[in-house]
């Protein structure tokens, strides 16, 4: 099959996301698990934001939790950074540790999420950080530890322990 045919087929699949029939939308999301592309992420994030259907939300977050392609990372990060998607922030951050991709280039983003957000989001950011395995430059590690230490005094008790754990953990992935 030519790449043009494949492109048209994929566009037809994506039309299923626009269906008023929630079962058709769910089937389409399932199909995208196998045939999806990184470029589909923004459409799925938007659908996650717009839908009120808990099953559709669950299918999308499940798909994000199983991403395996590193080219999806900047798209997920872009959604996390977009204020429009603040209602979905907890789910978007959670998929970062669930999918096991390498988010080490975004350490400062996750430290910021840990410091600046309510406990549920902070806990997801903490989990992303604690699952990092890639070595990170000590200069960056030191900057993030400094930010965390300064934020400790005004942090609620619940988050304080998470921050202390991250402060203890970060040197172990430094180089």
Domain ranges of the chain: 1-101, 102-175
Q: What is the pLDDT of residue 2?
A: 37
Place of tokens 């039309």: 15
- CA dist 14 and 121 (Å) reads 30
Mean pLDDT of 61-90: 96
Q: Is 163:155 a contact under the CB 8 Å cutoff?
A: yes
pLDDT by residue (tens digit) across 141-173? 999 999 999 999 999 999 999 999 999 999 999
pLDDT-based confidence at residue 14 (cuts at 50, 70, 90): confident
Q: What is the pLDDT of residue 7?
A: 58
Sign of CA dihedral 103, 109, 114, 117: negative
């Amino acid at each position: 099959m030519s790449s043009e045919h494949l492109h048209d087929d994929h566009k037809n699949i994506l039309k299923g996301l626009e269906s008023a029939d929630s079962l058709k939308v769910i089937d389409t999301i399932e199909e995208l698990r196998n045939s999806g592309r990184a470029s589909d992420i923004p459409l799925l994030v938007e659908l996650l934001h717009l839908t009120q259907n808990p099953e559709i939300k669950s299918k999308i977050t499940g798909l994000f939790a199983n991403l395996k392609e590193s080219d999806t990372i900047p798209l997920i990060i872009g959604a996390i950074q977009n204020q429009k998607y603040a209602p979905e922030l907890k789910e978007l951050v959670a998929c970062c540790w669930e999918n096991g991709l390498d988010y080490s280039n975004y350490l400062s983003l996750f430290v910021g999420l840990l410091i600046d957000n309510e406990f549920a989001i902070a806990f997801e950011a903490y989990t992303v950080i604690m699952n990092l395995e890639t070595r990170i430059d000590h200069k960056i590690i030191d900057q993030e530890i400094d930010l965390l230490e300064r934020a400790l005094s005004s942090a609620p008790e619940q988050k304080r322990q998470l921050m202390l754990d991250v402060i203890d953990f970060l040197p172990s992935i430094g180089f």
